[in-house]
Structure 1
Amino acid sequence: MTTHGGRRGQAERDAITVETGYALCSAAFAAAVGYGAVAGPALLFELPGGLERALPVVGAVLAAVLFLARVVSVLVRFQHSSQPSQPGRTKPDS
């Protein structure tokens, strides 16, 4: 991932920026869908009092967990994909 002297080239910095943006956008989408799926019924329908208050809280917790899980999974996958499978060897698909 690094070139000589530990400095990253412009292409590597651009790839990191794009991957970070993708991770954040896809995580925000996953969190919004998760929140909507759980809290949506409480916002659209008349439900018993406790359930109507609990569903948005549960949805917010689920959204936060989904957001963090998606960001971590995308960035970890990116980190592992840019390194050769064995030291001193190139990737099989290169």
Structure 2
Amino acid sequence: MGNRTQAQRDAVTVEIGYALVTGMFLAAGLFVLCAAPVLVLGLVGGAARGVLVVAATVAGLGFVTRVVRVLWRFGGGPRVLPGRPGRNGPGA
């Protein structure tokens, strides 16, 4: 893994926690939004089950997308470009 300082390990831990918590909130919101027709329209039986399956799928995809995006951006922090000492990342 390499030699990481305690501060770097703590930053990774906090970022993972942030990604998971915000992912859970996003998933809950998406589920409620997609499942609302079941309550609003009074769907029953197969229609309700279908809407709930779609809602769960959308919520799961939203969760995974949020976690991956947060962690990807964290891992892609500022980098020093070769041949340009002191300048970080694109547009710096």
Structure 1 and Structure 2 fold alike (TM over 0.5): yes
Quote the residue 2:13 is aligned against: 17
CA distance in 1, matches of 2:88, 2:75: 17
SS at match of 2:64: helix
Match of 1:51 among 40, 47, 52: 47
Quote the residue 2:62 is aligned against: 66
| TM-score between the two structures when normalised by the length of structure 1 | 0.80
Structure 2: where are the runs of 5+ without partners?
none
Quote the residue 1:36 is aligned against: 32
Structure 1: where are the runs of 5+ without partners?
none
CA distance in 1, matches of 2:82, 2:8: 19
CA distance in 2, matches of 1:91, 1:32: 40
Aligned-CA RMSD value: 2.3
Relative to 1, partners in 2 of residues 1:43 and 1:51: Cα closer, same or farther, differing over 3 Å?
Answer: same
CA distance in 1, matches of 2:60, 2:9: 28
Identity of aligned residues (%): 43
- Aligned residues of 1:38 and 1:59 also touching (Cα < 8 A): yes
Q: Deviations over 1:19-68 (max 9, x none)?
A: 00000000000000000001122145412543212111000000110010
CA distance in 1, matches of 2:19, 2:32: 20
Residues matched between the structures, number:
88
